[in-house]
Amino acid sequence: MAYPYLGDIVRALTGADLPLPIPVFGLSVVAAMFVAGAFLRRELARLHAAGALGHALVRGRNRRSEAVDPAHVVPDLTLVTLLAGIVGARVFHILEHTDQFLADPAAMIFTRSGLSIFGGLIFGTIAGLVCVKRWKLPAMTVLDAAAPALMLGYALGRIGCQLSGDGDWGIAADMALKPDWLPTWLWAQTYENNIVGEVIPLPGVYPTPLYEAAMCFAGFGVLWALRRHSFQKGWLFGVYLVLAGIERLLIEQIRHNPVLDFGVFRCTQAEVIAVLLIVGGVAGTALLARRLPAAGRTGQAA
């Protein structure tokens, strides 16, 4: 069962039919933004207190630059990356479905479903780095601080995909492979009442948003545990790229996505980007794995 709007959840929980046409996916994105922002703010404050991160220079009301605690710029940073991420997610989705876009551009642009998370990641990261540069903050340090928050935000966003049934589900589930101990709803779902209006025949499809959320919560735990690393700045973000790439590469094996023909090989857009993330992340962590002197570390004892 899917719950595209808040009213659907209220009806399922209480039986009350209230006019609450608030998109559940939108609510989950807002929740992810606030939760991820809170963790980013906490990490930036820790780094600042430990002396690993200086002040941010922002323009005040008198148009003069003011030095502020870097944690104070998180709301602006979150809003900018969110808006840029939404644009990027839509752009990459259109690039993945160019035939549908050419047939009906308006429908593709303004549809309530169809977002590419990697497009959002790329556009959001670029927009965030522009802000970080403007505020005179060290990009690598901020990327390290943002890595756990990015993974956590993605996990929460996938819960929104699961609840609303936005089409980010898997291929038809093979019930012959289901372990006896696993509940059926964790192996196959029909997403009845999904927001895209698609009827999924029994036994259903793999609930890949749940699998992604679980993997990303685990990835968040790893990144949060490693945040006091003693390696070069940027090393933790490299680990994030590897984890994000592996997670997506694995899920693409059972996920419903258009396959692109590149001549030499056929794969999904997400698989290409996932491989690039893994390669880039492995290279980054290898290059930055040299330990810093005690004075330059990211506040392990703080």
- pLDDT per residue rounded down to tens, the chain (302 residues): 899 999 999 999 999 998 888 889 889 988 998 999 999 999 999 999 988 888 888 876 666 777 888 888 898 888 888 888 888 877 877 776 677 766 767 666 666 555 667 777 888 889 999 998 988 999 999 999 999 999 999 999 999 999 999 888 999 999 999 999 999 999 999 999 998 889 999 999 999 999 999 999 999 999 999 999 888 999 999 999 999 999 999 999 999 887 877 777 788 888 988 999 999 999 999 999 887 665 555 554 34
**What 3-state DSSP class applies to 197?**
coil
The residue type at 13: L
pLDDT at residue 302, rounded to an integer: 42
Residue 282 lies in a domain: yes
Residue 152 lies in a domain: yes
Can you give the pTM of this predicted structure? 0.87
Residue 124 CA to residue 234 CA, distance in Å, equals: 17
pLDDT at residue 301, rounded to an integer: 39
Residue 62 lies in a domain: yes
Nearest Cα to Cα of residue 115 among 197, 207, 196: 196
What crossing angle do the helices spanning 139-164 and 235-251 adopt, rounded to 10°?
20
Pure H helices in the chain: 6-14, 24-49, 74-96, 98-103, 105-110, 117-134, 139-164, 208-225, 235-251, 269-287
Total number of domains in the chain: 1
Residue 213 lies in a domain: yes
**What 3-state DSSP class applies to 56?**
strand
Residue 12 lies in a domain: yes
pLDDT at residue 277, rounded to an integer: 94
Radius of gyration for the alpha carbons in the chain, expressed in angstroms and rounded: 21
Residue 301 lies in a domain: no
Domain that holds residue 106: 6-173+187-296
Which two tokens mark 16?
């009350």
- Helix/strand/coil percentages in the chain, nearest 5: 60, 5, 35
Residue 180 lies in a domain: no
pLDDT at residue 118, rounded to an integer: 73
Residue 159 CA to residue 150 CA, distance in Å, equals: 15
Helix and strand totals (H; E) in the chain: 10, 4
CB atoms within 10 A of CB 196: 17
Residue 179 lies in a domain: no
